Structure 1
Amino acid sequence: MGKKYSILLVEDDASLGYLLTEYLRMKDFDIIWEKEPAKVIDLIQNNRFDLAILDVMMVRVDGFTLAANISKEYPSLPFIFLTARSLKVDVLKGFSLGALDYLKKPIDEEELVVRILSLLDRLKRSSGHIDENSIFNIGMYRLNSSTQELFFESKVVHLTSRESELLKYLASHPNELCEHKGILETLWGNNDYFNRKSLNVFVTHLRKYLAQDPTIKIENVHGRGFILKTNLGEK
């Protein structure tokens, strides 16, 4: 597998937590399993993780609340949900919180490993270019995609992994149509209904972040994709 990835598993079901921990270790992942959501932030502070796997239906703190706390404190840590809740509203809420994937129980362990490796592989490829390739000037903003920071004057917004990936993709093709299919297959790995809904959520986030500069705009081309328009109003 090459690099030994470090995984944080947050699961309060003892049987499932043990099963997944042993299986992922057998597949050469470095994994820490935590049953108590209240201990997770301290764990992230004291360890380096490549990915967090969060159960949604936990007794003391639900996974959605935990994910929001993680995103606030450690926006660069990517996470996925593992849950029995499969209603559309739950899936969309999971993606709106920044999840890279939403896996439904019961899940086949081999499928879980394939999905984890696919996600981490895409993250590695998307963050593989540093220095000049990680800095993008977007109107009055500056994006550092390697640190996932968006600067405007003296202010800085710490983006999530997905927000940074998406803005980098759009900024790499200024004033060009970025089709839904191309964005989703590059960043999400799959052009399906839930991922398209998730894409729309993240575009909304980026529009809010970029609202201070009237010379730039993320325009929706109905049924086709998005255009990051720059130099609006300039002659």
Structure 2
Amino acid sequence: MDFHLLNILLVEDDLTLGEKLTDFLKSFGHDVVHCGDGDKAFEAFCDGRFNFCIFDLMLPGIDGFTLTERIRSRDSYIPVVIISKRNHKDDKQKAFDLGVDDYLVKPFDPDELLWRIRAVARRIHAPLPSGNVAAPLSIGKFTFDLNRQMLLNGSTIRRLTRRESEVLKLLCTRKNQLIKREEILMQLWGDVDYFHGRSLDVFISKIRRYLKEDNSIRIDNIPTVGYILKEGKS
């Protein structure tokens, strides 16, 4: 299957592993820049034109968590995959709360990393099908432009990440109806993994903040079941 060729920032302080992964990913046509510490990686990101990131967590200089936060503050769209020996639930939760797209525990087969990169790239870089441009959606006093990933309120424009847009779209198309957590997770992540569930909670919280200017809109949480985007006075 043909897929998007990527400009990858790989941050791995194990020189042998970093070189091995760089050569492996380049053999599939990707352009890869390998950095050995977090500070140099952030400098490279600011100077380069990357569209995919792969980070270790334990790095010289700033760690992978901080690096993710800094890069996300500059580009909220770019996908990030974590590769780490740290297999603790708290580390995974923190990473997904920061908005990473996947988390792979070392040691791993390079083929598995490639499969995960392809899966994330297909979701994030897939263009809209020709002739299938979605009409803007109305949410209270907001207009949600899915094609441009924008939430508009008068002259105020907020750019959403692709994942935020996908979550909001599902809620909008089922406005005032319950949509189950499992359905959202399967449609957007392809499974009902605990950590993807935590990521969903984070995205819901962000969307609530974006919509709080209109008190006629709210997102109700039905514990362990799902969410309802409600529009109109209670």
For normalisation by structure 1, the TM-score amounts to: 0.87
* C-alpha separation in 1, matches of 2:89 and 2:148: 32
Aligned residues: 232
Report matched runs for 1:21-170 at 5 Å: 21-125=22-126, 128=128, 132-133=133-134, 135-170=136-171
Secondary structure at 1:133 match in 2: coil
1:158 maps to a residue whose letter is R
Cα displacement string for residues 10-61 of structure 1 (whole angstroms, at most 9, x for unaligned residues): 2222111111111111222222222243344454455443321111111200
Would you say 1:8 and 2:9 are equivalent positions? yes
How far is 1:7 from its partner? 2.0
2:179 maps to a residue whose letter is C
Gapped runs of 5+ residues in structure 1? none
How far is 1:80 from its partner? 1.7
Counterpart of 1:171 in structure 2 is 172
Cα displacement string for residues 70-128 of structure 1 (whole angstroms, at most 9, x for unaligned residues): 11111111212111112111111111111111111112111111111111112244x52
Counterpart of 2:233 in structure 1 is 233
The answer on whether the counterparts of 1:75 and 1:158 sit within 8 Å (CA) in structure 2 is no
Runs of 4+ in structure 1 deviating by more than 6 angstroms, as ranges, are none
Cα displacement string for residues 205-232 of structure 1 (whole angstroms, at most 9, x for unaligned residues): 21112111111111112322112112x1
The answer on whether the counterparts of 2:37 and 2:60 sit within 8 Å (CA) in structure 1 is no
Identity %: 36
Superposition RMSD on alpha carbons, in Å? Answer: 2.3
Counterpart of 2:214 in structure 1 is 213
* C-alpha separation in 2, matches of 1:40 and 1:139: 42
How far is 1:9 from its partner? 1.1
Gapped runs of 5+ residues in structure 2? none
Secondary structure at 2:227 match in 1: strand
2:10 maps to a residue whose letter is L
For normalisation by structure 2, the TM-score amounts to: 0.88
Name whichever of 16-25 and 217-226 sits farther off. Answer: 217-226
* C-alpha separation in 2, matches of 1:174 and 1:152: 19
